[in-house]
Amino acid sequence: MSDMVLMKGNEAIAEAAIKAGCRHYFGYPITPQTEVAAYMAKRMPKIGGTFLQAESKVAAINMVIGVASTGKRVMTSSSSPGISLKSEGISYLAGCDLPALIVNVQRGGPGLGGIQPSQSDYWQAVKGGSHGDFRNIVLAPASVQEMASLTVKGFELADKYRMVSMILADGTMGQMMEPVSLDLESTYTAEKPWAVTGTKGGRQHNIVNSLFLQPEELEKKVFERYERYALVEKNEVMYEEYLMDDAEISVVAFGITSRVAKNAINVAREKGMKVGLIRPITLWPFPKDVLLKAADKCKAFISVEMNMGQMIEDVELAIKCRKPVYLCSRTGGMIPSPEEVLAKIEEVNEKEA
């Protein structure tokens, strides 16, 4: 175990980004993600990278657009209200087909909300979260190890499909420490012939731009983008199944709530209830096929979330409403307890007997 270190989730993201070749970080402090920026502030100057605390979250995302235009791996991180401020820039990144990694360590909302953990930015992350026809790849880590590995994966997917990858974590995942192996590297590198790197007189200049006044031209751009999105949906779905082989009830949960749900499922199994877990690791693309398949043999689903019920709509869509989907949730910075999830499993088990 000598290669395992104890690290906060936020620090693991920062170190993994460096391991993935990111040398440009722009951010602005906000609880509960500030350790990402603090870690970058310490490390980047030592390895010839750039750490810059911008004057605002809006400035930081626009600096990300600048570096992304040059084809370099670049990231910013924030928490919920800060992500809202960055949302204009995220749309521009999509409109310019620029790869970047954006980290949201969620806290309770809306507005300034609170600083305790939340998953209430699910819709914002998964449905685009800003104006225009576009998608983000959304990755939901459920351990400090995944905070690290999905950061590397996020950069690679962003480069591969020329789009934004978002790590959708929460205050618990950011603040907790677990053993993590930092034996990480990025094996994928994309050619970036579109990057603005200086022509040296040798080629036509590249233009990075999201303005297309001719509707025919803009429509063609969006169509082309959606062809890439279709490839992402086909190739990049990630999920974990837990005790699903004989499950009659399927819990669906991501991030920290999936871990709470596992505790509850273990107790439910001891009590003889056939219950399992489907944990989406990619929230977009959503693991629709595995859920639809589960709908053939499961009698009901339970969506466990830290919001008023956001992912539950995607569960219902994925299973085409063939089976009832129940919600078990807390919000405002509250985390459901394993007992609450167990009570919901017992209730559903009785109701659907």
Partner 1 sequence: MATVNMLFAGFGGQGILFAGKFLAYKGLIEGKQVSWLPSYGPEMRGGTANCSVILSDTPIGSPIVDKPDVLIAMNLPSLDKYENAVVPGGKIFVDSTLIGRKVERTDVEVYYVPASGLANEKNLRTLANMIITGKVISAVPEIGSDNLEAALNKVISARHQDMLGYNLDALKLGAQQ
Summarize the chain as % helix, strand, coil (round to 5): 45, 20, 35
- Minimum Å gap between C-beta 185 and partner 1 is 23
Question: Measured from the CB atom, is 4 or 317 closer to partner 1?
Answer: 4
Residue ranges binding partner 1 (CB under 8 A): 1, 4, 6, 31-32, 115-116, 171-172, 175-179, 256, 259-260, 262-263, 266, 335, 337-338
Residue 297 makes CB contacts below 8 A (sequence gap 6+) with 247, 248
Coil, strand, or helix at residue 293?
helix
Burial 86-100 (b: 16+ CB within 10 A, else e): bbebbbbbbbbbbbb
Question: Measured from the CB atom, is 64 or 247 closer to partner 1?
Answer: 247
The amino acid at 243: L
Specify whether the CB–CB gap between 137 and 282 falls below 8 A: yes
Q: ∠47-53-58 over CA atoms, to 5°?
A: 130
The owner of tokens 């837990």 is 242
Question: Measured from the CB atom, is 1 or 207 closer to partner 1?
Answer: 1
- CA–CA distance, 228 with 133 (Å, rounded to integer): 13
- Minimum Å gap between C-beta 68 and partner 1 is 31
- Minimum Å gap between C-beta 182 and partner 1 is 14
- Minimum Å gap between C-beta 315 and partner 1 is 21
- Minimum Å gap between C-beta 31 and partner 1 is 6
Question: Measured from the CB atom, is 13 or 318 closer to partner 1?
Answer: 13
Question: Measured from the CB atom, is 171 or 287 closer to partner 1?
Answer: 171
Handedness of CA 136, 137, 138, 141 (dihedral sign): negative
Cβ of 187: how many Cβ atoms within 10 Å?
6
- Minimum Å gap between C-beta 80 and partner 1 is 14
Question: Measured from the CB atom, is 176 or 196 closer to partner 1?
Answer: 176
